[in-house]
Every structure is written in C-alpha cells, then in structure tokens.
Chain A
Amino acid sequence: MSIRSEEVMKIAHLARLGIKDEQLSGYASELSNIMQLVEQMNQVDTTEIEPMAHPLDQSQRLRLDVVTENNQRESLQKNAPNVEDGLFLVPRVID
C-alpha cells in the first residue's frame, strides 16, 4: 500500500503539522515504506493469537478516590503566555 501526497496533507492537517509542498513527496515515500512493513507483518497468520492492547502483560492498577492535589495555579500558569482572572487566554476560537 502506498501513501499519496494528498493523504500526507490530510494527515498533517489532522495533526496540525505544517509541511511544505516540496516535503510532500519525501514524506509520502517514507510513510509508504512504513506501510509496506505493516503489510509484510499482515502476512503472518495470527488467527490463534489474542489481539494485544499493550506490550506489558499486566493490567491497570487502580487509584483510591482521594483528592491529594492542591491548588497550584500560580506556578502552573507561569508557563502560560497569557492569563487573566485565573483563565488561560488563547486565540479566539468559535465553533
């Protein structure tokens, strides 16, 4: 299976990555190579094998429902470029 330039553009858009036009064909062929590797793996007969959701053969540990975090807004907002009234300010988004 090969990836076309249009698909690279779509994937890049979904991931909000800026890709220059001249980079498109390069990415297309690199991604196609990865897909070929996947195709190759697809040839292995896995009918008897349980699908795996995680490489570690363990199950999720659960946390007791207790609040232990306290308010650290001041230090957490030190990184933010713009805050007001305790809110993070971002470029205007409207649906």
Chain B
Amino acid sequence: MQWETVIGLEIHAQLATNSKIFSAASTAYGAAPNTQACAVDLGLPGTLPVLNEQAVRHALMFGLAVGADIAPYSVFARKNYFYPDLPKGYQISQFDLPIVGLGKLDINVDGVTKTIGVTRAHLEEDAGKSLHEDYHGMTGVDLNRAGTPLLEIVSEPDMRSAAEAVAYVKMVHTLVQYLGICDGNMQEGSFRCDVNVSIRPMGQEAYGTRAEIKNLNSFRFIEKAIAHEVERQIDVIESGQSVVQETRLYDADKDETRSMRSKEEANDYRYFPDPDLLPVEISSALLEQMRDKLPELPAAKKQRFQQQYGLSDYDAEVLTAQRALADYYEDSVSRVANEEKLVANWVMGDLSAGLNREGLDITDCPVSAERLAGLVLRISDQTISGKIAKRVFELMWGSIDSADTIIDREGLKQISDSGELEKMIDQLMADNMSQVEQFREGKTKVMGFFVGQLMKQTQGKANPQELNKLLQAKLKK
C-alpha cells in the first residue's frame, strides 16, 4: 500500500531575555546549579509570578512576523503534572487563549514553495533539569532553567515529508534569530523540537494515530527520527497491529525511537486559568510599536538579494539564512563596484570554510567585511589572480593586515605587462623548440606545458588571460 506521512511540529524557542518569565532571576546559561533559582522559581509559598515585559514583546514580534492574529486578551493557565524538576506541581502556560493565534510561514523544498500553517504560539515557563547520574541512587535537580521564558510554536499538520519538516524547522530557526527573540542555540537547548508523526493510506482524508517524538535538538536528528518513525509505523500497521498514541524518544546512537510513556493515561493536565496572573491585554499602540520594529524578514531579504545583486536562488538562500551573514555580505558588497557574484563566492566559499573549520560564528570572523572587500577589489582590478587571492586570504585570516599590505609585502602583484611576459615567452620557446614544433603540428595540448612553465617562473603571478593571449599568438606564428 502507498502511505502518506503527516507531520506537525511543536517548537520551543527560548526567548532572549535577561530575567525569567515570572521572576527577576537571571537566565544566563551555564551557571553553577541552583544559583539562578530564586524563591519564585522554586515555587515557595507566598511568592507570586510577575510577567516579564520583554517576553511578551518577543512573542508579539513572532506573531507579527508570521502574519498571525494577535490576541488582544490572553490568559495564563496552569498545566498540572508532577515531576521533581517542576517545583510548583504545575507549569504556567497558556491554553485556550494564547497570545499568538493562527499565522503562516512559507517553506521551500526543491524549488517548490509551500505554505505551512502556524496554529498558535504561546508563552510558558521552562522546567528545571533532572540529572540521573548516580547520586547514591538519587536524582539531582538543578532549577536554574526553571522559569526561563519559552515560546511554544505549534504548526498545523501540514508537512508531508521529513524534508518539509526540516525546511519548516530551519525557517522558524532562521526567523527567530532574525527577530532577535531567540539565540537559536540548539546545543544549549535554546531551540528544541517535538515532532508529531502519523501515516495514512494515500488519498485517505482522516489522520492516522500519531506518535510524538520528543526533544530533537538537531536538524539531522529530526530528519532521521521521522524517517525511522515512519518505517516503524508502516511495519506496525502492515503486520496487522495499530499505532498507539504515545510519546517516543529518539536515540541518536541507535538511530531508533522508543516508547517513553503512553499518552492516554499520563496526560491529564487539568488546565485552568492561573489565579496568580491577570489576563494580558495588548494595546493596539504596543502592537504598532512592535510592527515598526520588525526587521526585513528572511523571505523578503532573499528576494531582494536576487533582485538587487542578481544572485541565484541558491546563493540568496545561503546568504540570508543568517541575518549576520546577510549583513556581512551587504557590508562587503557595498564597498566594491559590480562584483556582487564574486563577493558572494568568497563569503560562501573560503570565508565560510574558514569559519566552519574553526567553529566560529560570522560575528567573530577574523576577516572583516571591509578587508574582504579590499581583497575582492584587487581581483576585480586584476592586481592579483583568483588563485593568488586565496593565498592572500589565508594571510589575512591570521593577521590584521589589509589585502594591499600583504600583496605589496609578499610581492604578489600580477604580471600583466605584456612586454615582460613576451620576453619570458620568447625565452621559453627558444629553450623548448621541440614542444613548439609539436604545437604547430596540431598537438595543441602542449599549450598546458607552456602555461605551467610560465606560471612556475612567475610563481603564479602571471595574469592568466594575458598570458594565454600572448602565448597563443606567438605559438601560432
């Protein structure tokens, strides 16, 4: 039978705030255990939550970016369950009146654009962390993360393949970083993803029973976990059994998902409005203020890059995937006339390779946009060849010198003076008459021999176009 995969996603984006969503404790990552967990985060009697304004603004920013309905009136609710890293015995979340309502986001897979519905996005607090390493048979609890603001972004079940799901997650990932509302750091858990997967016979309208795969923290794992889960569900159904609605955990080492708990009995969260918090009202003035602050969004920027700089779909996509990278490109390209494609090649090529090699972010790039432009300018005006430029770039990477300084110091200036090149060619031909004969008998391949020799003599500094032109002319005589 032909099966169709149906995927919906829940993304938890940790909002970039200094303090927690309901307390004034720090949200900084990596502090010693429980040094950033105050009385409110610990749920001690007599404490009350007070909502962080910045968390609300971040949520609004996201809502506006996906064209969602912003609720003028939204309500916090208690989601009740017991777990040691949840001190109050409930998580403050939003239920039937979330701050961000229905919106949408376009994704691109293999050149095809598809619109994915964003069901809702709501504010909630994160839980702490349980450490199951052995503490004399006990579990250690660190509550630093408890109360960290999260925006849970829920999609419609609109995706039909792992590739679409990954494209959507990447789009949201890019978007929240563009908006500056989340640092997107997946290793530190600032951006996590739960995937709902089900299958149904091709053509059937009703959804199959879904399994939820929890806590996927890399794009690759999302793709692999979905692929694996789809296969598992097909096996289950084709062997005559049925899929159970449950939460499953992806084990990256074994590349498999396994059951965590059966959802039917475990999830009875008994949501009700949190009496400790009043309803949140969003004034139209605040909303307009946020709308004015909205930056150029990834899709618009990509389109502009194609139009303004004549870049391909692919180049524009890569360069706008990160706002800082796009800014770097624009800074650099504005300093050299008519070399949009060449600058793009350098940013996506040697520069990105260098950053990857050293695990650096574009914001920590040792070669500034201005210095890169200085290098491209010298390729553009033929002072150096593209090949020599790679050498110059390496020297720039390890120093603060400009391309010009390095070219001068290392004597890398290209030899374009035809008089000088002609002299060298004449000498070389005189020394290698047999190769000259061969060429004239039609073995044009020996051209390579002459080019190679001359490049060797000039240490790669001969202007290749000029050299070829002169060589051709002289050999053909």
Contacts and interface: CB of A to CB of B under 8 A. Distances in A.
Contact of B18 (A65, A85, A87): A65
Interface residues of A, number: 35
Size bracket, chain B contacts: 35 or more
B139 A69 contact: no
A43 interface: no
B33 A63 contact: no
A69 B142 contact: no
Interface stretch (B100-108, B161-169, B267-275): B267-275
A89 B141 contact: yes
Nearest to A93: B139
A60 B54 contact: no
A62 B34 contact: no
Of B35, B39, B261, which is in contact with the most chain A CB atoms at under 10 Å from its CB?
B35
B268 A87 contact: no
B35 A71 contact: yes
Nearest to B272: A53
Contact of A67 (B26, B56, B139, B273): B26
Interface string A71-82: 111001100001
Contacts of A88: 34, 84, 140-141, 143
B207 interface: no
A40 interface: no
A90 B131 CA distance: 10
B34 A90 contact: no
A95 interface: yes
Interface in B38-76: 38-39, 42, 44, 50-56, 73, 75
A84 B135 CA distance: 8
A20 interface: no
A11 to B, nearest CB: 9
Interface stretch (B184-192, B216-224, B278-286, B365-373): B278-286
Contacts of B84: 88, 90, 93
B113 to A, nearest CB: 37
A72 B25 CA distance: 11
B36 A71 contact: yes
Contacts of B52: 62-63, 65
B132 interface: yes
A64 to B, nearest CB: 6
16 contacts: A14-B268, A53-B279, A54-B275, A61-B278, A62-B50, A65-B18, A66-B18, A67-B26, A68-B24, A84-B135, A87-B131, A87-B142, A90-B138, A92-B139, A95-B249, A95-B260
Given A62-B52, A76-B38, 13 more contacts: A53-B97, A53-B273, A54-B75, A59-B280, A61-B278, A64-B53, A69-B23, A71-B36, A76-B37, A87-B135, A91-B139, A93-B83, A93-B139
